[in-house]
């Protein structure tokens, strides 16, 4: 499982002109599910993200976590995080999870966030989405459960 975590001042996701998810200060998590991923990877990934201290304290040090700043979370499915560009110029996505299982694990991950945060905003799995954000910093972190 892979995640691109962005610290944002605000973010939203739109599908067919309708905003389906919107947050203020917090994390925009672009989430990719691989074909071998399980609930254990989702648990591990959310455990790491939920404890990341990437918000600045009163001294300008990144010592505060999401809960410390009352942050919000927007999770957007992003199978393109599994793009393989080794051959040619057209990416292959064969390492991405099959849609039904990927959607199940995406929803499972969102439920983990909801369990700990009380609320999570999401995109629409499989839809063509437009994501709008203001990256705060910019601060962007790439996480892959194979490397955690």
Question: Using an 8 Å Cβ cutoff, are 113 and 75 in contact?
Answer: yes
Burial of residue 89 (number of CB atoms within 10 Å: 0-12, 13-18, 19+): exposed
Does the annotation mark 78 as catalytic? yes
Among the listed residues 81, 92, 77, 85, the one whose alpha carbon sits nearest the alpha carbon of residue 145: 81
Residue in 9, 80, 93, 130 annotated catalytic? 80
Does the annotation mark 41 as catalytic? no
Residue in 78, 109, 125, 145 annotated catalytic? 78
Question: Using an 8 Å Cβ cutoff, are 42 and 112 in contact?
Answer: yes
φ, ψ (nearest 5 deg) of residue 142:
-95, 125
Does the annotation mark 79 as catalytic? yes
Among the listed residues 115, 123, 23, 122, the one whose alpha carbon sits nearest the alpha carbon of residue 72: 23
Q: At 96, list the tokens.
A: 């991405």
Residue in 6, 14, 55, 79 annotated catalytic? 79
- What residues are labeled active site? 78-80
């Amino acid at each position: 499982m892979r995640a691109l975590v962005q610290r944002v001042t605000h973010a939203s996701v739109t599908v067919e002109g309708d905003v389906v998810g919107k947050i203020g200060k917090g994390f925009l998590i672009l989430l990719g599910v691989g074909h071998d991923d399980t609930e254990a990877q989702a648990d591990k990934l959310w455990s790491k993200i939920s404890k990341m201290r990437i918000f600045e304290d009163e001294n300008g040090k990144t010592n505060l976590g999401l809960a410390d700043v009352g942050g919000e979370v927007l999770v957007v499915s992003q199978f393109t995080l599994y793009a393989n560009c080794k051959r040619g110029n057209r990416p292959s996505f064969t390492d991405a999870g099959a849609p039904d299982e990927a959607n199940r694990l995406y929803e499972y991950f969102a439920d983990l966030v909801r369990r700990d945060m009380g609320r999570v905003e999401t995109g629409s799995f499989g839809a063509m989405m437009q994501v709008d954000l203001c990256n705060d910093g910019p601060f962007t972190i790439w996480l892959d459960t194979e490397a955690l």
